[in-house]
Every structure is written in structure tokens, then in C-alpha cells.
Structure 1
Amino acid sequence: MAEQKTDQKPSGTYEAGCHCGYIKFSVTLSPPLPEYKVLDCNCSMCRKAGYLLVYPTRQNVKWHGESRERCAVYRFNTKKKDQLFCPRCGTSLGIDFRDSTKPKFDGYGISARAFYGLDLDSLQYEKGHGLENVKPARDLSGIQFELDEEEAKASAAAAATNTTTAT
């Protein structure tokens, strides 16, 4: 972790990546950690993925080699944000906001848990209320199972109807 000073604001650059090392990148933040307020959101995705988010702009994230292309993605709810994770070890890395926010934020929500050698107890946290404030304002945990079950029942009912009308 190297501290850097610019003419305007102090910043820090941090190495990050997944657990197995298949994905690596560096993140520059201003202000630097631990002065940066890390978001601890209560939405279903942040809770399940263990995200503690910082928000660098796209130009302040440098993916090493083909690391960005190596990321697996998961999209839920609005299907507009890539939740990034390692396809080999499963480490949750963060969120790519590329096409999802208005006004446009051209950057990432990177999980501070992905930073190498970072003492999470030394950070300042800001509580996020995504569960109450992000549409749909409810817990989406496990909802795909229920959606798949409903779809299977509907398909079975349609097949039964088709069989009955065909005879």
C-alpha cells in the first residue's frame, strides 16, 4: 500500500484481488484508507457477498493482465449491475456500475475485503440502508428458488392443459 499525494487531495493505492490470485487489480482512493468511509450496506446482496464497499472511479481501478475479463458476473434485481467474483475460488470482489446508475457513476463498488493486508478493524464505516431504499425495497435472498418453482408449476400446468385439450 503506497500513499500518494496529488496537488488536490491525498490518495492511497492498494493492491487487491481474489483469494486464489486468479484475479488481481489495484485501487486508488481519495481520501486514502483509513480516512475513507467504507459503506456497510444491509441489502441482501451486500450481506450475502460480505461487501464492505469503497467507490473508485473506473480510471482508478487498474486490472492486472486479463483479470477483469476473468471475473464471473451475477446480475439480480434490475439485471443492470455486474456483481463480480472469481470463478475459481468464489471471492466476491465488488460491483461494476457501468450501465446502472443515474446520474452516471463510471466506476466500481469494490469490496474492501478484497484488499491485501488490510486491517478491517482500522477502517471507518458508514451504514447503508439498501434493504429499505433500493427498489424493490425488500430482501431478495433466495428468491430465485421460488421463481424457478413457480415457473416449473406453471409449465407443468400448461403441459397438463395441452395434454387434456389434445385428447
Structure 2
Amino acid sequence: MTHCLNGACHCGAIGLELTLPRPPEEEVVGACQCSFCRKHNARTVSDPRAQARLVVHEPAELQRYRFGLEASEVVLCRRCGVYVAMLMTEAGKAWSTINIDALDERARFTRPAEPRDFSGEALEGRRERRIARWTPTKLVGWPKE
């Protein structure tokens, strides 16, 4: 049985849909220890068996931010400032880890967030880990770079 969850940034310019293979109460919640995620007190979820869709309703409000090794980009709303997801694209494919606090049913993620620190990871290992562990993602209404 799959579990479909919806969400968006605060103003609705960037929407998201997440289909999980198990109930949110059973999902492992992560707490990345990078400075960006710590400053946002982010709690994230990723599952390679899940599916995500990031839907840009208002392309002018999409803000993408890269830092560190620039292996991925943060998806933010320019208007309301909400951090929606971390996204990695490669060879026409996309993977993400979703900020569960952007989901409408965020309270269903009841497991304590597990701290994760990947600061010592090399760029190639980081990409391989994300492809193996992050959620396959479809980008809808995404502006061309």
C-alpha cells in the first residue's frame, strides 16, 4: 500500500507530491548537520522506493541555491522563503530529499530525526550515495536553465 502526501511552500508557488511505500510514521527522518540544514532546523525524508514530484506553479518564484561541493541544489521559494527540498540532477534524471515540514501531513512523521553528517564525503561518493538513497523525482513546470 502506498501513502500519498501533498505539500507546498507557504504561498503555494512550489508544490510537492510524495508517494511513500510505507506509512509516514515508519519512515526514517533525517537531520542533516550541514550549516544550511541546521539553520533551517530541517527534517527530511528520502526513500529510493518512493516517488516525488516537485511542481513549479510560478517559475519566477523558484529559487535554487548551491553551496559547498555544489553536488545538489536547495529548492526554495523566492516569495515566502520556504525550503522545500534538496535536489540533485544528473543525465536527465532527478533525485531529492524532501523537507517534511513542507508537507501538509508533517505531523505523521513521528520518528525522531537522526543526525547525519556527510561533511567528510568526497564529491563522487556523495553523488553515488544520493542516487542510491534519495527519492526519484519528476520535475513539473521546471524552467529551463
Give the TM-score of the pair, scaled to structure 1: 0.61
Aligned to 1:72: 63
Tell me how large the CA RMSD over aligned residues is. 2.9
For 1:83, the equivalent position in structure 2 comes to 74
- 1:124 aligned residue: 111
User: In the TM superposition, what is the alpha-carbon distance from 1:51 to its structure 2 partner?
Assistant: 1.6
2:126 matched to which residue of 1?
none
Contact 1:84 1:94 in 2 (8 A): yes
Task: Give the superposition deviation at 1:106.
Answer: 4.5
Structure 2 distance, partners of 1:88, 1:69, is 9
Larger CA Rg, structure 1 vs 2: 1
Are the equivalent residues in 2 in contact too, given 1:40–1:52 (CA < 8 A)?
A: yes
By relative contact order (CA 8 Å, sep 6+), the higher-ranking structure is 2
Q: Is the 8 A contact 1:41 1:47 kept in 2?
A: yes
Q: Which amino acid aligns with 1:129?
A: R
Q: Partner letter of residue 114 of structure 1? A: A
Secondary structure of the residue aligned to 2:89 is coil
With over 3 angstroms needed to count, the CA separation of the structure-2 counterparts of 1:68 and 1:119, relative to structure 1, is farther
Of the candidates 16, 19, 23, which is equivalent to residue 25 of structure 1? 16
List alignment gaps of at least 5 residues for structure 1.
6-10, 100-104, 137-167
Equivalent residue letter for 1:98: T
Task: Give 1:29's aligned amino acid.
Answer: L
Instruction: Name whichever structure is richer in helix by fraction.
Output: 1
Residue 65 (structure 1) shift: 5.5
Q: Which aligned segments of 4 or more residues in structure 1 are displaced greater than 2 angstroms? A: 56-59, 62-71
- Could you say what secondary structure the match of 2:98 adopts? strand
Residue 135 (structure 1) aligned to one of 75, 99, 120? 120
Q: Which amino acid aligns with 1:83?
A: V
Superposed CA deviations along residues 22-76 of structure 1, whole A, max 9, x for unmatched, are 1112111122201101112222121112221111459811234646785211100
More strand by share: 2
Equivalence map 1:12-161=2 (5 Å) = 12-57=3-48, 60-64=51-55, 66=57, 70-99=61-90, 106-119=94-107, 123-130=110-117, 133-135=118-120
TM-score calculated relative to the size of structure 2: 0.69
Which amino acid in 1 is paired with 2:102? A
CA distance in 1: counterparts of 2:84 and 2:49, whole angstroms = 15
- The number of residue pairs the alignment matches comes to 120
Structure 2: segments with no counterpart, 5+ residues? 122-145
Identity of aligned residues (%): 23
**Match of 1:148?**
none
